């Protein structure tokens, strides 16, 4: 299968009256930013447009939604176009799949290499650092008027999916597009502050408490921390806010394997496992009764924290030893 052209897709868009946008579950900056940019641009073209969601918007992305998102499937009864954005497979919008399939025309805009060409029109380009970059190109084809809010949504999409232009997917093009967005009037600093400088003090203090439990294993190749219910009670943080800890551990020089143990209930410990470069945590997770990808996996251990820590430590050490033998 091959891509339709953005011109073909723009042509279809110009012909219709209503468009419903479908970002993936576990909303991120690229999915929501891309949808917001499309939504405002389509509305400016006098299309009835909404972004249909099935989960909550993460707190640090709420600034993007000034009346574009809905959880109401009936907002557009009979959409001319349903467009899945930053995803293509129905399991990425499972609760909304029936609505998606009710669209007279179904279009996919995505940059994930695992996405299949299965809808009426598809534009899937894994070479693009962010779906937001494809959206930028599409809006150029549609000859939309440069707009600060649309530009900031595209900037949010690009800056999050490239890890602030640090990840290996970052391209010359990512910088060229961002440069052009300045002509649209974007305030990149205020967007960055919304996304990254909006950490609750409770979270900061909880993460600090967790880092006090840091244990380095096998000469620094493994790193482990844990978060207890008591830490949450002491600090007023919630468990979701332990999110960034595994990335913090991975950023330590020499660390190949990182584990964060989160006590959801007394004997219910969710474990996030991360590998930096050579390691494979999916195997470690499997041995602990879980699963996942090579670089990011997890499991749940139904034991008290101290026992869970011991189990994970042992498996990390085993994993490091196996890596050393290779």
Binding site for its own copies (CB under 8 A): 159, 163-168, 170-173, 175-176, 178-179, 182-183, 188-190, 192-193, 196-201, 204-205, 208, 211-212, 214, 216, 220, 223, 248, 250-255, 276-277
- The CB-of-166 to its own copies minimum distance in angstroms stands at 4
Nearer CB in complex with its own copies: 115/162: 162
Nearer CB in complex with its own copies: 126/201: 201
- The CB-of-117 to its own copies minimum distance in angstroms stands at 29
Gap between the Cα atoms of 249 and 222, Å rounded:
9
- The CB-of-38 to its own copies minimum distance in angstroms stands at 23
- The CB-of-262 to its own copies minimum distance in angstroms stands at 18
Nearer CB in complex with its own copies: 23/319: 319
Nearer CB in complex with its own copies: 59/71: 59
Return the bridge partners of 217, or none. Answer: 222
Nearer CB in complex with its own copies: 107/223: 223
Nearer CB in complex with its own copies: 34/160: 160
- The CB-of-34 to its own copies minimum distance in angstroms stands at 19
Are 132 and 154 in contact by the 8 Å Cβ rule? The answer is yes
Gap between the Cα atoms of 280 and 294, Å rounded:
4
Task: Look at the alpha carbons of 24, 243, 307, 320 in this order and tell me if their dihedral is positive or negative.
Answer: positive
Which pairs from 252-257 meet CB under 8 Å and 24+ separation? 252/220, 252/223, 253/220, 254/219, 254/220, 254/221, 255/216, 255/220, 255/221, 255/222, 255/223, 256/221, 256/222, 256/320, 256/323, 257/217, 257/221, 257/222, 257/223, 257/281, 257/284, 257/316, 257/319, 257/320
Please, which residues have CB within 8 angstroms of residue 168's CB and are 6 or more apart in sequence? none
Gap between the Cα atoms of 163 and 165, Å rounded:
5
Task: Look at the alpha carbons of 251, 253, 254, 259 in this order and tell me if their dihedral is positive or negative.
Answer: negative
Instruction: Sort strands 296-301 and 291-292 into parallel, antiparallel or unpaired.
Output: antiparallel
- The CB-of-233 to its own copies minimum distance in angstroms stands at 18
Nearer CB in complex with its own copies: 176/238: 176
- The CB-of-261 to its own copies minimum distance in angstroms stands at 17
- The CB-of-85 to its own copies minimum distance in angstroms stands at 24
Reduce the DSSP state of residue 53 to 3 states and report it: coil
Nearer CB in complex with its own copies: 183/325: 183
Task: Look at the alpha carbons of 32, 38, 44, 48 in this order and tell me if their dihedral is positive or negative.
Answer: negative
């Amino acid at each position: 299968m091959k891509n339709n052209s953005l011109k073909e897709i723009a042509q279809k868009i110009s012909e219709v009256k209503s468009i419903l946008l479908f970002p993936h579950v576990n909303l991120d900056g690229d999915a929501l930013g891309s949808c917001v940019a499309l939504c405002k641009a389509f509305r400016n073209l006098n299309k009835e447009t909404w972004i249909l969601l099935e989960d909550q918007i993460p707190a640090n992305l709420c600034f993007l939604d000034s009346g574009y998102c809905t959880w109401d499937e009936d907002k557009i009864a009979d959409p001319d176009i349903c467009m899945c954005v930053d995803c293509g497979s129905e399991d990425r919008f499972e609760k909304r799949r029936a609505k998606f399939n009710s669209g007279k025309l179904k279009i996919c805009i995505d940059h994930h290499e695992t996405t299949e060409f299965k809808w009426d029109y598809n534009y899937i380009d894994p070479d693009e650092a962010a779906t937001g970059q494809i959206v930028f190109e599409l809006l150029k084809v549609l000859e939309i008027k440069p707009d600060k809010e649309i530009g900031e949504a595209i900037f949010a999409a690009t800056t999050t999916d490239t890890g602030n232009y640090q990840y290996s997917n970052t391209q010359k093009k990512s910088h060229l597009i961002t440069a052009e967005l300045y002509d649209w009037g974007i305030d990149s600093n205020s967007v960055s502050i919304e996304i990254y400088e909006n950490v609750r003090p409770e979270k900061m203090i909880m993460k600090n408490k967790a880092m006090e439990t840091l244990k380095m294993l096998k000469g620094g190749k493994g790193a482990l921390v844990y978060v207890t219910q008591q830490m949450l009670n002491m600090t007023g943080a919630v468990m979701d806010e332990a999110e960034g800890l595994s990335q913090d551990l991975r950023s330590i020089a020499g660390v190949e394997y990182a584990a964060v143990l989160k006590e959801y209930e007394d004997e219910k410990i969710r474990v996030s496992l991360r590998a930096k470069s050579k390691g494979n945590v999916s195997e470690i997770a499997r041995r602990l009764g879980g699963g996942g990808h090579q670089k990011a996996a997890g499991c749940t251990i139904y034991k008290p924290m101290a026992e869970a820590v011991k189990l994970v430590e042992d498996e990390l050490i085993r994993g490091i030893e196996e890596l050393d033998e290779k």
